[in-house]
Amino acid sequence: MITYRGQKFAGYNKPKATPGASKKSAVLAKEDGKVRLVRFGDPKMTIKKHLPKHRKSFRARHGCSEPGSKLKARWWACKSW
């Protein structure tokens, strides 16, 4: 268990749900020795990745073919889809 700024995480690069927060999920991302708290996802929306059209549209809209660094919210959103 890792504590970072008062929040507990299971480990680095392991997303957790954040009910009641401004974002749906949070992760303590670690890449190349850098550590950053990354929050991502809209808490008011449901994920419908089981529907192929929704999945394809989300991945195209967010540029998931080139997600970039693990320290960015886009990388984690694309990974969840």
pLDDT per residue over 19-60, tens digit each? 888 899 999 999 999 999 999 998 988 888 899 999 999 999
Rg (CA), the chain: 13
Q: Give the pLDDT of residue 66.
A: 92
Q: Give the pLDDT of residue 19.
A: 86
Q: Which two tokens stand for residue 27?
A: 């992760």
Of 66, 6, 17, which is closest to residue 39 (Cα–Cα)?
17
Domain that holds residue 41: 2-80
Alpha-carbon dihedral of residues 18, 32, 69, 4, nearest 10 degrees?
10
Of 79, 76, 78, which is closest to residue 61 (Cα–Cα)?
78
Q: pLDDT-derived band of residue 67, with 50, 70 and 90 as boundaries?
A: confident
Q: How many structural domains are present in the chain?
A: 1
Tell me the whole-structure pTM to 2 decimals: 0.86
Q: Give the pLDDT of residue 56.
A: 94
Q: Give the pLDDT of residue 21.
A: 85
